Amino acid sequence: MRRFYKGADISRVQSVAEMAALARYRLPDFAWEYLAGGAENEQTLSCNESDFAKIRLTSHTLVANYPPELTRSLVGSASALPMMIGPTGFNGMLWPQADIALAKAANVKKIPFCLSTVSNASMEQVREAAQELDFWFQLYGLKNAQLNDDLLARAKAVGVSTLVITSDAFVVGNREWDRRNFARPRQLTWHNKANVMLHPNWVRRVMFPYGLPTMGNLNPYLPTYEQSALGAMKFIQEQLDTLFNWESVARIRDQWHGKLILKGVLHPDDAKQAVKLGFDGIVVSNHGGRQLDGALSSIEALPAIVKAVGGDIDILLDSGIRRGSDVVKAAALGVQGVMLGRATLFGVAAGGQIGVSRVLDILQEELSRSLNLMGVQRLDELSPAHLYLS
């Protein structure tokens, strides 16, 4: 990994991997592991990237057309690119007001942004900061039905267009680094406390003046003595509905009248069930390798899902997108677009909104250039014929 030093110029960062190196340099170990780590042996985490690398692109030469057309409809949302920013929790640990930085960068690029249930900024704060944003909200299945209802009512009130139900995290994945970094729940080990002190800029940015940020969406439901980020983490873990099933999502379908997406689909039968229940879209995802280790990579799971439901429902994909050419590969296999997870988080951790915008520019340029070099003029020309699987 390339090394970076204090004061590195974000505009000179050339790739998502370089942005990750800068984020690594700026974050204390425990925050970096939260961002970059996966479950157990991290096999799925690493396959998410290496399976993209196994796919080769075919190309036609001497078909000059630059820049190619990149606009796309993502489950009915008009997007300037076949990508959007997906839901991630606790972003405020990476940069102050990180949710707002991500939302604003998405708004400038004219792509949708999805806020997590466990974000630090509340949905009302995000809407206030980015009034034109195509705003999506991600919901976990929670035990308390009233809490679910209230979150849906708030989402509707702030003009959320699309609700994303995350189906693969009703129990939290086995993230060993998380337990290793804490001596007991909510208490960093001495080693990690010392490591935090080696990152005074992070301490100044993120911890002053009020400590770790709280969870805006959940604060109204927390007892006063638990009004902290870590209190909210405990609360959400207790609230995750371990009995969350197809009946639960059918109930949400009846309650929510906007567009509805199921995130965390890896099996064609589940994709068919989502079509049957009237979902508008699915996200083929293994949660960035943070849940079931050994699960298929998303790009590996995709062809069977496209075969089962392609044409019946919009398909998005996440997990492992680090280059514009990854977006080309996913689109050639049949997705409408991709959700970005760590790619834009590396940007926000390295430099707030400027870092996110730089990542989006890099991916856009890479996508444009790849299509041009392949002799493809529009995204919807892409098909499996553009891929070579060794």
Query: Which residues of the chain form contacts with ligand FNR (CB under 6 A)?
Result: 34-35, 48, 86-89, 116, 118, 138, 166, 263, 285, 287-288, 290, 318-321, 341-343, 345
Token pair 């430099």 is found at 351
Q: Report the nearest approach of ligand FNR to the CB of residue 310 (Å).
A: 21
Active-site residue identified among 199, 267, 287, 386: 287
Close Cβ partners of 367 (under 8 Å, ≥ 6 residues apart) = 70, 81, 82, 324, 325, 327, 328
Q: Report the nearest approach of ligand FNR to the CB of residue 353 (Å).
A: 18
Q: Which is nearer to ligand FNR, 228 or 319 (CB)?
A: 319
Q: Report the nearest approach of ligand FNR to the CB of residue 377 (Å).
A: 27
What type of residue sits at position 224?
T
Residue number with the smallest Cβ distance to ligand FNR? 341
Q: Which is nearer to ligand FNR, 102 or 345 (CB)?
A: 345
Q: How far is CA 91 from CA 7, 34, 193, in A?
A: 22, 10, 20
Q: Which is nearer to ligand FNR, 313 or 330 (CB)?
A: 330
Q: Which is nearer to ligand FNR, 118 or 376 (CB)?
A: 118
> Is 287 a known active-site residue?
yes
**Residues comprising the chain, all counted:** 390
| DSSP states along 222-270 | S-GGG-SHHHHHHHHHHHB-TT--HHHHHHHHHH--SEEEEEEE-SHHH
Close Cβ partners of 277 (under 8 Å, ≥ 6 residues apart) = 246, 249, 250, 253
Q: Which is nearer to ligand FNR, 282 or 376 (CB)?
A: 282
Dihedral angle of Cα 334, 340, 342, 344, to the nearest 10 degrees: 150
- Please check whether residue 268 is in contact with residue 281, taking contact to mean a CB–CB distance below 8 angstroms: no
Q: Report the nearest approach of ligand FNR to the CB of residue 36 (Å).
A: 8
Closest CA to 129 of 353, 350, 345, 360: 353
Q: Report the nearest approach of ligand FNR to the CB of residue 49 (Å).
A: 8
> Could you list the active site residues?
287
